[in-house]
């Protein structure tokens, strides 16, 4: 369906939990967050009911997020259920990779199409500084398992900051040899803990990579790769991407909505939302009535963010783990 600005909205980011086994500095405070009580978190059946309604409105891509989605039990049940919904043609997962190697086989059997692995460093001390956990070995095992899985689209996501400046080139080198994958540098979002951190300018990252690998060539994608600006470096098997939502907004082409673990519908990442469909679904609402509520929320999607002037009225003040990354 289209929103009131004429954008085709067909991509859902579905957060299944606000819990995580890391404490990344831009995502969660060191002490963590007060978790949503279990009885307030959507069940998988409730999520599937909501997605069935959204699929009837034109949603055809679903990305499962968190927190860390793999800390929630039986995620394969949700993946298989999503893939069985008519109209849903692609299901992906964003994970820190720590639990991935143990669960990947089941996820693939359930129909998983792609995985994005959040990885901000390859050097153990830098990784531990950013994540506040000593889990790099397991994260890399998850990445290796994903790369070795035929038919799985793999991307690595890095949030460049001053703390991981030394890691930009080594991370980009993951795309140098096969099996091919994309490494994407995602500009720090001034949301939650990210408001207090010093993110790196995307142009600084780009310059550092060209200095290391030579001139980058733009990759034409015809809008098939979302908001990433993709480039190819000489001799690379994979590609490198830049997602710069703050310095180079792509709101005019935004095609997504979010649903938080407790069922709050967020048409835009920056803005707070008081529309929760949890109560509606638990009261038995479904089908066309639920579609009508979701359709109105999508139609009213804001025209764009204003991250250049944070703390404006209506801004979201929860952490990224609570919202769903």
As a whole number of angstroms, the distance between CA 41 and CA 53 comes to 19
Q: What is the predicted pLDDT for the residue at 60? A: 98
pLDDT given for residue 195 in this prediction: 61
Q: Roughly what angle, to the nearest 10 degrees, separates helices 124-131 and 136-147?
A: 100
Q: Which residues of 276-289 are buried (b: 16+ CB within 10 A; e: fewer)?
A: bbbebbeeebeeee
* pTM, two decimal places: 0.93
pLDDT reported for residue 192: 63
Residue 322 pLDDT:
60
Query: Contact, 227 vs 250, CB < 8 A?
Result: yes
What per-residue confidence (pLDDT) applies to 312? 53
**Domains and their CATH numbers in the chain:** 11-154+251-323 (3.20.20.70)
Answer for the pair 73, 105: CB distance below 8 angstroms, yes or no: no
Angle between helices 100-110 and 75-83 (to 10 degrees): 30
Residues of the chain whose pLDDT is less than 50? 313-314
Q: How many CB atoms lie within 10 A of CB 254?
A: 25
pLDDT at 85: 98
User: 217 φ, ψ to 5°?
Assistant: -110, 130
pLDDT at 305: 73
**CA dist list (Å): 140 to 121, 135, 171, 184:** 10, 9, 12, 16
Q: Is 316 left (phi over 0), alpha (psi -120 to 50) or beta?
A: beta
The H or E element containing residue 183 is strand 182-186
């Amino acid at each position: 369906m289209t929103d009131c600005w004429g954008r085709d909205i067909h991509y859902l980011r579905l957060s299944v939990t606000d819990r995580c086994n890391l404490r990344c500095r831009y995502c969660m405070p060191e002490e963590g967050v007060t978790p949503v009580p279990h009885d307030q978190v959507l069940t998988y059946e409730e999520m599937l009911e909501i997605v069935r309604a959204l699929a009837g409105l034109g949603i055809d891509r679903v990305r499962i997020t968190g927190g860390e989605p793999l800390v929630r039990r039986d995620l394969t049940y949700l993946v298989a259920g999503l893939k069985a919904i008519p109209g849903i043609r692609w299901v992906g997962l964003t994970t820190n990779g720590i639990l991935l190697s143990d669960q990947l086989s089941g996820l693939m059997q359930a129909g998983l199409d792609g995985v994005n692995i959040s990885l901000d460093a390859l050097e153990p001390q830098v990784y531990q500084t950013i994540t506040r956990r000593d889990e790099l070995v397991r994260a890399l095992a998850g990445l290796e398992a994903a790369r070795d899985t035929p038919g799985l689209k793999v991307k690595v996501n890095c949030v460049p900051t001053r703390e991981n400046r030394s890691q930009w080139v080594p991370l980009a080198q993951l795309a140098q040899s096969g099996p091919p994958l994309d490494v994407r540098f995602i500009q720090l979002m001034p949301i939650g803990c990210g408001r207090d951190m010093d993110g790196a300018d995307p142009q600084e990252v780009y310059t550092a990579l060209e200095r290391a690998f030579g001139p980058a060539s733009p990759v034409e994608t015809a809008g098939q790769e979302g908001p990433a600006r993709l480039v190819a470096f000489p001799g690379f098997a994979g590609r490198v991407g830049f997602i710069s939502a703050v310095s180079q907004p792509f709101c005019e082409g935004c095609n997504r909505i979010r649903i938080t673990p407790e069922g709050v519908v967020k048409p835009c990442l920056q803005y707070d939302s008081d529309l929760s469909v949890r109560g509606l679904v638990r009261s038995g609402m479904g089908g066309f009535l639920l579609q009508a509520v979701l359709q109105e929320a999508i139609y009213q999607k804001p025209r764009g963010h204003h991250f250049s002037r944070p703390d404006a009225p209506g801004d979201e003040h929860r952490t990224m783990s609570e919202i769903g990354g």
